């Protein structure tokens, strides 16, 4: 049982709040700000994120600082018992900086320097930009270090993108040199004798570009790793003065949904708490089941990225967003589900973008707690207030965390390289979809799942599933062997162990270094288009295979199911290899979720693993958090129909009633239960 400290020591409760831009209302502050405070308290808001895009208001001219308005905001928050999640302003920079120092502007892959505009578009290598960030971050920390409102630092906003300017090229070359040492090593790692691409100096290397090097997979992977590392480096740069001046104030950076640009598992190691922005396309119909599943896996990924500690849902929309193609209103109940779903997966916060809707510009119609009606009379305001009340009712959940015996591997290296590797189906290797299918199967069975990457410790788990682990990091196969030898169950699939960390094929047959533990040789892989299917029968039931079928030879493993069609009829579609005290499964073909559910039910039983709930109705998601205040079971129904389930004897934390046995879970209802 792990009990984690509250995110802000002097607010040991679940946090509720959102992005707040009082500076947009500076001319009407005497009217608007008091309304904001009054409504914030009414809605049960206890934190507000301020200063996120405030640079031009904080430093309207170079070296001219205007902190007075922020002083007033911070004082006002403190007076109203609201904690500030204070942002560094680097998410968007003022026009004067771009005008005076064009080097702060990014250069795109076509080598065009961008103009001033939008946000998140600065060169992270630029010494000028770095110095300006260091300066303003230092001033913020010095000014507010003892302010009672300061609860946390919000670093920049949704880091992302890339820059191909000369400064970044230089930084990339230095990164290559540090990684490879010599040009020869780099050439060998990238297989550069191919098409005569051998370099004779690091200076010749340019970042990938449609007008230059666009087919060198090793280089592309290196560029992705470099840009990701650049964000790690920039984040460390941003927090350096904060850590020096306010060592006890935690720092976070808000992450995004399956964002390709940063290896979040690596980046997460730098964060005091992980946080992310969650924007599911809730449609109010049966599609919400899949949207909820997507949000669940993302919550679990972010928790994994943050080292399985309670994390933060830093943003979510209180109502329709304004940037999906179609932005339907949220059906009643969805907002509560969205908030409690985050808590259920280990978030200690429910926060929104945005607290108050701006009057103009591109987010003028984005959902907000306070709309243009400027009142508390709206449905959205009422629903947000209900979330606030509910979070207060279930506050004892704060600091508890899920405990899982099942881990599912998802990693950025495979996300990156499978997008570029050319074989099989080049439209979509479906890496993310596949990971989601495996996740869905475990959730359908009512199990808790931890999302991890190859660098994580496997020893806390009984079952580790690594779908499509095409690229294997050095040492990972040994880790899997050790895990299985000591009694664990490892599950691998087709397209595993083809390349090493440098994207060079494993010689001697796939799945490379996992061959022994899996007890198979994977010789060839067939790609099936939508007109073709194969099948196999497992425990008397026939399952369809689609899209990917690997042709596998057992080398010690038992065949549990075999292909029923095509020239590879009779070859294994599913194998199981005993290894030490444990075993390893190989799923050779892509199937639907029904098969994964059947297989995982058997594997769970073999491992003696109990689900959180038996007979989970379709679409319902269960999670658990355990802490010093007890065990909390969350059961969510993310769909417009009700369903029936059977509960163990428990306390409904929201109503304080005892429940036991049959229960009708309403549309979009979330149960928060405390075990006996
Ligand atoms: C992102 C940003 C916010 C805002 C919202 C709108 O998550 O961080 O500033 O633009 O999207 O949904
Ligand atoms: Zn640059």
Binned average pLDDT, 10 residues per bin, the chain of 676 residues: 92 97 98 98 98 98 98 98 98 97 98 95 97 98 98 98 98 98 98 97 98 96 98 98 98 97 98 98 97 98 98 97 93 97 98 97 96 97 98 97 98 97 95 98 98 98 98 98 98 98 97 98 97 98 98 98 98 98 98 98 98 97 97 98 96 96 97 92
Q: What spacing in Å lies between the alpha carbon of 101 and ligand 2's midpoint? A: 12
Q: What is the pLDDT of residue 286?
A: 96
Specify the DSSP class assigned to residue 513.
Answer: G
Contacts of 164 (CB under 8 A, 6+ apart): 106, 107, 108, 109, 111, 207, 209
- Testing ligand 1's pocket by substitution, the residue of 19, 118, 315, 354 carrying the most ligand atoms inside 8 A of its CB is 315
CA atoms lying within 13 Å on the CB side of residue 397:
33
Q: What spacing in Å lies between the alpha carbon of 164 and ligand 2's midpoint? A: 5
> Which one of the listed residues 315, 383, 547, 669 is annotated catalytic?
315
Q: What is the pLDDT of residue 174?
A: 98
Ligand 1 atom having least distance to the Cα of 254: 8
Q: Please tell me the CATH code under which domain 621-675 is placed.
A: 2.60.40.1180
- Where do the structural domains in the chain lie, given as residue ranges? 406-607, 621-675
CA atoms lying within 13 Å on the CB side of residue 452:
22
Contact 353 CB / ligand 1 (< 6 Å): yes
Active site residue 669: no
- Judged by DSSP in three states, 25 sits in helix
CA atoms lying within 13 Å on the CB side of residue 100:
11
621-675 matches 406-607 in CATH topology: no
Return the number of other C-beta atoms located less than 10 Å from residue 222's C-beta.
Answer: 24
Contact 315 CB / ligand 1 (< 6 Å): yes
Q: What spacing in Å lies between the alpha carbon of 353 and ligand 1's midpoint? A: 7
The bridge status of strand 520-527 relative to strand 541-554 is antiparallel
Calculate the CA dihedral of residues 444, 449, 451, 452 and round it to 10 degrees: -140
Residue linked to tokens 């831009």: 21
Q: What is the pLDDT of residue 389?
A: 98
Q: What is the pLDDT of residue 2?
A: 86
Contact 157 CB / ligand 1 (< 6 Å): yes
Q: What spacing in Å lies between the alpha carbon of 298 and ligand 1's midpoint? A: 17
Q: How far apart are CA 675 and CA 32, in angstroms?
A: 45
User: Is there a contact between 176 and 202 (Cβ–Cβ < 8 Å)?
Assistant: yes
The bridge status of strand 15-20 relative to strand 150-154 is unpaired
Q: What is the pLDDT of residue 128?
A: 98
Sheet holding 621-627, edge to edge: 621-627, 630-636, 670-675, 643-652, 657-665
Could you give the C-alpha distances from 205 to 106, 163, 183, 199, in angstroms and in order? Answer: 19, 15, 10, 7
Contact 277 CB / ligand 1 (< 6 Å): yes
- For ligand 1, atom 12, name the residue with the nearest CA: 321
Structure tokens at 123: 């060169």
Fold of 406-607: Rossmann fold (3.40.50)
Q: What is the pLDDT of residue 574?
A: 98
- Testing ligand 1's pocket by substitution, the residue of 277, 314, 365 carrying the most ligand atoms inside 8 A of its CB is 277
Specify the DSSP class assigned to residue 270.
Answer: T
Q: How far apart are CA 153 and CA 141, in angstroms?
A: 9
């Amino acid at each position: 049982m792990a009990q984690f400290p509250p995110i802000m020591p002097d607010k040991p409760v679940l946090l509720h709040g959102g992005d707040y831009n009082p500076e947009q209302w500076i001319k009407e502050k005497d009217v608007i700000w008091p309304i904001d405070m009054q409504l914030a308290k009414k809605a049960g808001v206890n934190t507000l994120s301020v200063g996120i895009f405030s640079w031009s208001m904080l430093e309207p001219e170079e070296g001219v600082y205007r902190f007075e308005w922020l002083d007033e905001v911070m004082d006002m928050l403190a007076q109203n018992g609201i904690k500030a999640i204070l942002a560094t302003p680097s998410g968007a920079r003022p026009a004067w900086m771009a005008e005076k120092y064009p080097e702060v502007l990014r250069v795109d892959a076509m080598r065009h320097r961008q103009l001033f505009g939008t946000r998140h578009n600065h060169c992270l290598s630029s010494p000028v930009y770095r110095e300006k960030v260091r300066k303003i971050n230092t001033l913020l920390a010095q000014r507010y270090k003892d302010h009672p409102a300061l609860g946390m630092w919000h670093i920049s906003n949704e880091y992302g993108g890339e820059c191909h300017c000369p400064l970044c090229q230089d930084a990339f070359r230095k990164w290559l040199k540090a990684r490879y040492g010599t040009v020869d090593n780099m050439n060998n790692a990238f297989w550069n004798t191919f098409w005569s691409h051998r370099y004779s100096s690091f200076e010749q290397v340019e970042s990938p570009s449609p007008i230059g090097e666009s087919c060198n997979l090793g280089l592309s992977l290196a560029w992705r790793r470099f840009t990701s590392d650049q964000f790690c480096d920039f984040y460390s740069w941003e927090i350096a003065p904060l850590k020096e001046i306010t060592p006890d104030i935690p720092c976070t950076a808000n992450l995004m949904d399956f964002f390709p640009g940063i290896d979040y598992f690596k980046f997460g190691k730098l964060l005091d708490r992980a946080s992310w922005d969650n924007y599911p396309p809730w449609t109010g119909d049966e599609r919400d089941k899949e949207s909820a599943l997507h949000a669940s896996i993302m919550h679990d990924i972010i928790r994994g990225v943050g080292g399985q500690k309670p994390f933060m849902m830093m943003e979510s929309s209180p109502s329709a967003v304004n940037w999906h193609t179609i932005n339907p209103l949220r059906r009643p109940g969805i907002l509560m589900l969205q908030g409690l779903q985050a808590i259920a997966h280990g978030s200690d916060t429910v926060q929104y973008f945005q607290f108050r809707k701006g009057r103009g510009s591109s987010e003028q119609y984005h959902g907000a707690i306070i709309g243009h009606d400027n009142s508390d009379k709206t449905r959205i305001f009422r629903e947000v207030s209900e979330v606030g009340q509910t979070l207060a009712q279930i506050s004892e959940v704060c600091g508890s965390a899920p405990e899982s015996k099942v881990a599912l591997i998802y990693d950025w290296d495979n996300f990156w390289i499978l997008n570029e590797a050319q074989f099989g189906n080049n439209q979509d290797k479906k890496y993310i979809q596949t990971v989601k299918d495996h996740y869905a199967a475990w959730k359908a069975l009512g199990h808790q799942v931890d999302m991890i990457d190859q660098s994580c410790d496997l020893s806390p788990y009984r079952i580790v599933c690594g779908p499509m682990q095409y690229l294997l990091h050095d040492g990972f196969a040994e880790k899997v062997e050790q895990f299985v030898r000591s009694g664990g169950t490892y599950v691998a699939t087709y397209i595993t162990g083809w390349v090493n960390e440098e994207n060079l094929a494993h010689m001697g047959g796939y799945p490379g270094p996992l061959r022994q533990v899996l007890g198979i040789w994977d010789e060839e892989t067939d790609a099936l288009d939508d007109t073709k299917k194969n099948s196999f029968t497992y425990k008397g039931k026939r399952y369809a295979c689609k899209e990917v079928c690997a042709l596998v030879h057992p080398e010690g493993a038992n065949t549990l199911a075999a292909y029923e069609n095509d020239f590879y009829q009779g070859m294994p579609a599913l194998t199981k290899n005993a290894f030490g005290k444990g075993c390893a499964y190989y799923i050779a073909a892509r199937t639907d979720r029904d098969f994964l559910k059947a297989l995982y039910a058997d594997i769970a039983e073999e491992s003696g693993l109990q689900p959180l709930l038996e007979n989970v109705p379709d679409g319902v998601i269960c999670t658990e958090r355990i802490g010093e205040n007890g065990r909390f079971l969350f059961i969510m129904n993310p769909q417009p129909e009700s369903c029936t389930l059977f509960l163990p004897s428990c306390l409904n934390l929201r109503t304080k009633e005892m429940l036991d046995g049959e229960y009708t879970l309403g549309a979009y209802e979330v149960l928060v239960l405390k075990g006996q």
